[in-house]
């Protein structure tokens, strides 16, 4: 069963292990102890909790409560239904893996047996319908550290990123792991990182030393490398780019939208930047230069032409069956732009609507024809204000005939506003 299958089984509630630490455990209206730990079974794509370990005061023995006896999990309390409390008095089973005791504060080891960081928190998914708690991610960034120190508010104020990695990228825990032995290892082999989200891959690349980083980066295909490069810290970007020849960097830049490319090129020395840009397509180079020179007279400098456009009569079933091909190499894949007989934009369909619609329906039947758009003469500030107001992930730029001249991507504007929005 894949992680995606698990997440589709029902509506779940996400928790952090630190949020549940020492939560009250109650039977009816009676408090019987506090949560001490979770016993987990590390099999399948995600480990799941098999038992709760409940600490009791006044020298009473702990309780080992099976998950099928758990009625509710919340940060304030965990509700259980036990026919007899005494029947569950026991010690942890021999060989049991304790999530808090055995995983928290363990070193995270990379593919070359070097320390990457420390596990500061663990993300959990509680599925009430099946009474299952899955271990979904481990967190080893500054946000997790600050939260553990009781400074979560400061991490939010400083806007620390959520540095976590899906458990599906963690090696099976060693059999002899314990409170003071065993490490958490990241699967960072090429065959295992091909489907890793760019932000997760960027986190791993940032933590490796220069030779490891360069070796791993060379193993990525151009699309994955380009996506990861966008997410990497500027200092690390410079190191990676400096180790590559200009033509190779130009191939990565070619996979990006003009604002993304401008953001990366702006962070590297002039001589290297000039060499890289000499390899770029003239049209792309002109857009990048316009952005870097703050020439905002045309919002089209920020637009991408890599989006999905289909006629209004296209069937939903066709989109579903061919989506992987339609979305390949597109900068905007979450929206389908619906065109009329003259090529004008007549509507927009969110990909989520495609998944919910009947396969025999046409795009015209499920699209919204209330289109929020930009004009070519509008500025980046106006685009920024439009994204702030409506919260769209992309906005089209239309001419007087309602032809789509390109699409502005949310992150290209909102991520660069500190440099380009006066």
pLDDT digits (tens, 9 = 90+) for 388-411: 888 888 999 999 999 999 999 887
Instruction: State residue 239's pLDDT score.
Output: 80
Question: Distance between CA 119 and CA 16 in Å, rounded?
Answer: 12
Residue segments in the chain with a per-residue pLDDT below the cut of 50: 1-10, 187-192, 295-296, 417-422
**What is the helix, strand, coil percentage profile of the chain, to 5?**
40, 25, 35
Give the CA radius of gyration of the chain: 26
SS3 157: helix
Q: How far is CA 293 from the centre of its chain?
A: 32
Instruction: State residue 136's pLDDT score.
Output: 82
pTM, whole model, 2 decimals? 0.43
Instruction: State residue 189's pLDDT score.
Output: 39
Nearest 5°: CA angle at 39, between 33 and 45?
140
Nearest 5°: CA angle at 224, between 218 and 227?
115
Domains of the chain, earliest start first: 1-187 (2.30.30.240), 193-293 (1.25.60.10), 302-420 (3.10.580.10)
Q: 337: part of which helix (H) or strand (E)?
A: strand 332-339
Exposed / middle / buried, residue 345 (Cβ in 10 Å: 0-12, 13-18, 19+): buried
Tokens representing 67 are 């998950």
Instruction: State residue 360's pLDDT score.
Output: 93
């Amino acid at each position: 069963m894949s992680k995606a299958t698990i997440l589709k089984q029902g509506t779940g509630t996400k928790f952090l292990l630190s949020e549940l630490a020492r939560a009250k455990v109650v039977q009816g209206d009676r408090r019987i102890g506090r949560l001490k730990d979770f016993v987990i079974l590390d099999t399948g794509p995600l480990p799941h909790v098999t038992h709760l370990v409940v600490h009791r005061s006044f020298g009473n023995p702990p309780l080992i409560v099976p998950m099928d006896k758990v009625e509710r999990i919340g940060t304030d309390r965990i509700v259980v239904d036990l026919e007899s409390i005494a029947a569950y008095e026991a010690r942890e089973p021999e060989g049991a893996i304790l999530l808090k005791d055995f995983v928290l504060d363990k070193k995270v080891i990379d593919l070359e047996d070097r320390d990457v960081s420390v596990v500061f928190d663990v993300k959990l998914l509680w599925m009430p319908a099946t009474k299952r708690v899955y271990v979904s991610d481990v967190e080893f960034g500054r946000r997790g550290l600050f939260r553990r120190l009781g400074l979560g508010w400061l991490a939010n104020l400083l806007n620390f990123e959520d540095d976590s990695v899906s458990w599906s990228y963690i090696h099976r825990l060693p059999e002899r792991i314990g409170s003071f032995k065993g490490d958490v290892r990241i699967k960072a082999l090429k065959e295992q990182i091909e489907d890793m989200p760019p932000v997760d891959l960027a986190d791993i690349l940032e933590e490796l030393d220069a030779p490891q980083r360069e070796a791993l980066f060379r193993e990525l295909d151009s699309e994955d490398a380009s996506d990861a490069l966008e997410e990497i810290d500027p200092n690390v970007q410079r190191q990676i780019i400096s180790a590559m020849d200009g033509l190779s960097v130009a191939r990565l830049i070619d996979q990006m939208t003009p604002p993304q490319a401008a953001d990366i090129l702006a962070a590297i020395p002039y001589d290297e930047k000039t060499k890289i840009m000499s390899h770029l397509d003239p049209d792309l180079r002109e857009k990048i230069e316009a952005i870097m020179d703050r020439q905002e007279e045309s919002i089209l400098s920020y637009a991408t032409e890599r989006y999905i456009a289909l006629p209004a009569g296209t069937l939903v079933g066709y989109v579903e069956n061919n989506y992987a091909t339609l979305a390949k190499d597109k900068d905007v894949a979450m929206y389908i732009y619906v065109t009329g007989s003259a090529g004008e934009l007549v509507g927009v369909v969110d990909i989520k609507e495609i998944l919910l619609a009947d396969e025999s329906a046409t795009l015209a039947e499920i699209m919204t024809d209330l289109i929020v758009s930009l004009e070519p003469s509008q500025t980046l500030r106006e685009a920024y204000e439009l994204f702030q107001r409506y919260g769209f992930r992309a906005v089209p730029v239309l001419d007087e005939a309602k032809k789509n001249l390109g699409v502005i991507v949310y992150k290209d504007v909102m991520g660069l506003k500190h440099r380009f929005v006066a």
